[in-house]
């Protein structure tokens, strides 16, 4: 996959394109991307995904402190590459860009700059100034500009069409089973191992505190999870706690992400790791003392080994 920062000086072959944020690159997105790749092969053209950075909500919403997303741009690149996309075009999203009328965007950028011959969009896609562009808008533009536009229906489940917002809601509730099913892969968070209070060492469960790569990366709801830890090219079973550690911490304003890697005793401070969420074990709980906490962590370890065996 060739990555382009912007849309100047492109030389694409009969591009079949789609555009959107693609947060999570979930199973709903994959239905559209599979169609995109298939159409490109049928027409002997190239498949092109157009996305935007930073996320439009970070630019347009004044209060974006609580915003969180399923994927960073780097994660998105990997997922799109795995979907066999030929080209990824990343357009810088600014206030000025947001004011471009939908038809001007189609004419000036999609057709003239990118050379789109065939455009595929999702069932609920909107774009352009104030979201005025939808399938009907593009259809009208396509008749004047001589390109094909096709709409793909969403991937349906019992809960309705899969969407990034549906997956985000599930993760925030700790429902990683549901989120993983809709994503089509296991959700993960990557970050650097930083020093913590080192209380885990005193009870036989040393933990690695994780500082996520992005402040906007969605962190699942508080609780204890069975996870896998990717460190370099190796994969280890582990347990992860998200929350305020109420048993040893009286200040519940701050959340931490603490990982205990099973049967592992190396110093990995400053290393980058990824934690892969497999299943939630239990809710966060305040214990009366460290002995009770230690006993529960022993049970958590047995549950994790059983789940990941």
The token pair at 107 is 């004419």
Average pLDDT over residues 96-120: 89
Q: Where in the chain is the domain with CATH 2.40.30.30?
A: 187-308
CA 229 to CA 193: how far, in whole Å?
12
> Which pLDDT band, with edges at 50, 70 and 90, does 102 fall under?
confident
Q: Does domain 2-161 have CATH number 3.40.50.300?
A: no
CB atoms within 10 A of CB 294: 15
Give the list of residues 6+ apart from residue 189 with CB closer than 8 angstroms, or none: 210, 212, 217, 219, 257, 274, 275, 277
Percentage of the chain surpassing pLDDT 70? 89
The token pair at 219 is 């962190």
The pLDDT tens digits for 24-66 are 999 999 999 999 999 999 999 999 999 999 999 999 887 777 8
The pLDDT tens digits for 128-146 are 565 566 677 777 777 777 7
Give the list of residues 6+ apart from residue 282 with CB closer than 8 angstroms, or none: 223, 224, 300
Nearest 5°: phi and psi at 49?
A: -105, 130
This prediction has a pTM of: 0.89
Supply the CATH classification number for the domain 187-308: 2.40.30.30
Q: Where in the chain is the domain with CATH 3.40.50.620?
A: 2-161
Supply the DSSP string of 194-216, one letter for each residue.
Answer: E----HHHHTT---EEEEES-TT
């Amino acid at each position: 996959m060739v990555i382009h920062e912007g849309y100047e000086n492109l030389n694409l072959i009969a591009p079949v394109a789609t555009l959107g944020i693609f947060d999570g690159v979930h199973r709903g997105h994959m239905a559209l991307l599979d169609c995109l790749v298939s159409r490109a092969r049928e027409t002997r053209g190239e498949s092109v995904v157009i996305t935007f950075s930073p996320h439009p909500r970070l630019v347009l919403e004044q209060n974006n402190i609580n915003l969180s997303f399923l994927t960073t741009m780097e994660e998105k690149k990997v997922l799109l590459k795995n979907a066999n996309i030929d080209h990824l075009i990343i357009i810088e999203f600014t206030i000025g860009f947001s004011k471009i009328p939908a038809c001007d965007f189609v004419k000036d950028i999609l057709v003239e700059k990118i050379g789109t011959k065939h455009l595929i969009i999702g069932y609920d896609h909107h774009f352009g100034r104030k979201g005025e562009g939808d399938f009907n808008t593009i259809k009208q533009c396509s008749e004047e500009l001589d390109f094909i536009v096709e709409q793909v229906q969403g991937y349906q489940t019992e809960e309705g069409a899969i969407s990034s917002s549906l997956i985000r809601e599930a993760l925030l509730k700790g429902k990683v089973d549901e989120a993983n099913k809709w994503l089509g892969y296991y959700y993960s968070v990557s970050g650097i191992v930083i020093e913590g209070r080192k209380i885990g060492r005193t009870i036989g469960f040393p933990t690695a505190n994780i500082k996520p790569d992005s402040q906007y990366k969605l962190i699942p709801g508080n609780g204890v999870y069975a996870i896998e830890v990717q460190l370099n090219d190796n994969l280890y079973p582990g347990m992860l706690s998200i929350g305020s550690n109420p048993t040893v911490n009286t200040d519940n304003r701050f959340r931490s992400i603490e990982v205990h890697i099973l049967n592992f005793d190396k110093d990995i401070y400053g290393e980058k790791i990824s934690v892969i969420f497999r299943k939630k074990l239990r809710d966060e709980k305040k214990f009366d003392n460290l002995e009770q906490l230690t006993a529960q962590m022993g049970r958590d370890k047995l549950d994790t080994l059983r789940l990941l065996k």
